[in-house]
Amino acid sequence: MPHAVCIPFPAQGHINPMLNLAKLLHYKGFHITFVHTEFNYKRILLESSDHESLNSSSSFRFETIPDGLISSDALASTTQDLTELCVSTQKNLSAPFRSLLDRIDQSTDDENIPAVSCIVSDGFMSFTIDAAEQLGIPHTDFTT
């Protein structure tokens, strides 16, 4: 089974199109790991029952990484400053994303999770290209 790791830029106008693409890939037989920032995951969980139905599937998983800006315990109605988010994304998400890929790689044997076949990222998440190249994983990006 192919395994796509999907990571949008952490803003609503980017998350929804990436989630739609991830759902389509899942429907076509892909195992999906959808990566949120901790802040957005908590906020979206409060707004959407769709995540619950997807998360109940063993082949569609949500993972989180810190965005480096705001505590994940922040109020869900709090919005993030877009300028700070852009800077923080490029500065702070690379190492946690790479750690997540390493964790997925280590869990492939233990949890029946297929090895990562490709990374699908938002065009604003350029650090994902470096991670993909370092690990020899095919990568594609798009801008919504």
Q: Are strands 60-65 and 3-7 parallel, antiparallel or unpaired?
A: unpaired
- The first and second tokens of residue 74, run together, are 């922040």
For 6, residues 6+ apart whose C-beta sits below 8 A from its C-beta are 18, 19, 21, 22, 25, 32, 33, 34, 35, 119, 120, 121
Quick one: 17 exposed, middle or buried, by C-beta within 10 A (0-12, 13-18, 19+)? middle
Residue 3 catalytic?
no
Rg (CA), the chain: 14
Residue from 3, 14, 26, 31 carrying the catalytic annotation: 14
122 is catalytic: yes
Catalytic residue of the set 3, 31, 51, 122: 122
User: Any idea which residues carry the catalytic annotation?
Assistant: 14, 122
